[in-house]
Every structure is written in C-alpha cells, then in structure tokens.
Amino acid sequence: MNKRTTDAPPGDAPQAEYWRPFMEALPVEGTAVSTIGDLLGTETVSASDTVAARLDELQFDLGEGPCWDALRLRRPVLEPDLRRRPQQQWTSFTPAAIEAGVGALFAFPMLVGPLRIGAVDMYTREPVALDEAHTQAATKLAEAAGRTLLKRALDTMGREEPAEDANPFSRRVVHQATGMVLAQLDVSADDARMVIQAHAYATDRSMMEVSRDVLDGRLDFSALDGGDGRSR
C-alpha cells in the first residue's frame, strides 16, 4: 500500500471543513478523515489533533483497525470501551491505541454508490457510547465528506473530457448512462455521474467509453461489491 500524508498539520484551518462537522455534531474529542484504496490513494486528508492523526498512521502502518473494517464492511464500526470490553480483535492496533490514551473509537465509511472512498474515525479518551441519533448523523456526514472528496479529486484530475468526436450529440451517451446508473444505485444524478467519472479514471478510459459499456449492458454498477468496477 502506498501511504501518503497531508502537508497540513493536525487542526490546520484549511482542512478543518472536513473534521469540524463531526466534532460539532458528536460527543468526540478528535476526528480524522482519510482516503483509503487505489482510487484516491491512502492518506490522512484532515485531522483535528495529533492523536487523531496518530491513530490514522497506526492503521495505515499496521493494516488493521476500525477504518479498514468500516470500509470493508460498508458500515460503522463502534468501539465504545476499547480498554475493558473491546468488541474487535485488532492484535497490534488496539494496544497502540490504548497507549495513545484512547478509550473509545468510532469509524464510518465514506461511500459513493459502490465506490469506497475512505473512512472517518473519531476517538474519546474515556469510554463513550454513541446513540442512534449520533450514529445516523455521523453516517450522513461521512457520506457528504466522501462525496466532497471525490468531486474535488475528479475536478483536479480533469477527467471529464470534451466530446471525443465531431458528433455534437455524442455527450448524450454520458447523460443516458448517468440515468441508468442512477437507477442501478438509487443515487442522485450528480453521484451517478461521479461514479462513471471515477470508474473512467480508475480504468484509464474516457467517460464516453465507460458510458457505452453501461448502455450496452457490459457494466452494471449494482453488481459490484464496492470495488473500482470491472466490465463484464
């Protein structure tokens, strides 16, 4: 795995837009937002403090921890009492997290349709349990953060090409495919378009080529299990 680190220090103002909503909505003491996987790389995008950043670093180095499990399972991983009643078996990560002064950990996946963008993990120094309202709020915030990260990454990558031939209606293929992906995944039109664009980037193809695969039935995103999407 290629691990990257952000240049911004923990708590840096330009990155606070990612972690601050979680700190304001939840009874936690620190938050880190990270991309994980080949699509956007593996890095800590934003961390509220040095402990949160350290927890991410440990998970990246050890290859285990709540972020990995949340992304793999596509659901929140809640560890309200890491010291006395741990629910997960993280052989190397748990002792290191406890040594860092952590009492509770919570991780939420960042998902856009079938795409696994990364995860948000939060900690408290003492044992704390999140209630259902907190869990639902964090889930929605993580989805919004993942969508923002993916959109900004794709905008930076400049993967949305102009029409690739002289046909002035050629982009209609993308619009039609967007409608199909919208129906496949039950997501918004914007998210459906980002899924196509992200798949095009991950497979080094144009959006037009991916869209034709969707329209011809060679690519069905609803059949994917969160990977980068492979044509059948």
Sheet of strand 30-35: strand arrangement: 3-5, 42-47, 30-35, 115-124, 104-112, 77-79
**How is the chain split into domains, by residue range?**
3-156, 162-223
100-155 pLDDT, tens digit each: 999 999 999 999 988 899 999 999 999 999 999 999 999 999 999 999 998 888 88
Contacts for 200-203 with beta carbons within 8 Å, 24 or more apart?
200/159, 201/39, 201/154, 201/157, 201/159, 202/38, 202/39, 202/228, 202/229, 203/228, 203/229
End-to-end CA distance of the chain: 27
Q: Which of 83-87, 124-128, 190-194, 226-230 has the highest mean pLDDT?
A: 124-128
Q: Average pLDDT, whole number, for the chain?
A: 84
Supply the pLDDT for residue 163: 43
SS3 of residue 117 by DSSP: strand
| Distance, C-alpha 126 to centroid of its chain | 27
Query: Residue 91 to residues 142, 187, 196: CA-CA distances in angstroms?
Result: 26, 37, 38
As given in the structure block, the two tokens for residue 54 are 């350290």
Is the domain spanning 162-223 CATH 1.10.4080.10? The answer is: no
3-156 CATH fold: Beta-Lactamase (3.30.450)
CA 219 to chain centre: 22
Is the pLDDT reported for residue 228 higher than 90?
no
Residues present in the chain in total: 232
pLDDT in tens, 28-41: 999 999 999 877 88
Q: For residues 45 and 60, is the Cβ–Cβ distance under 8 A?
A: no
Alpha-carbon distances, residue 79 vs 3, 95, 119, 123, 143 (angstroms)? 25, 14, 15, 9, 20
**Of residues 229, 226, 190, 194, the one with CA closest to residue 75:** 226
pLDDT of residue 168: 42
Among residues 136, 62, 129, the alpha carbon closest in space to that of 97 is found at 62
Instruction: Find all residues with CB under 8 Å of 67, minimum gap 6, and list them.
Output: 34, 36, 56, 59, 107, 118, 119, 121
Q: What is the pLDDT of residue 40?
A: 84
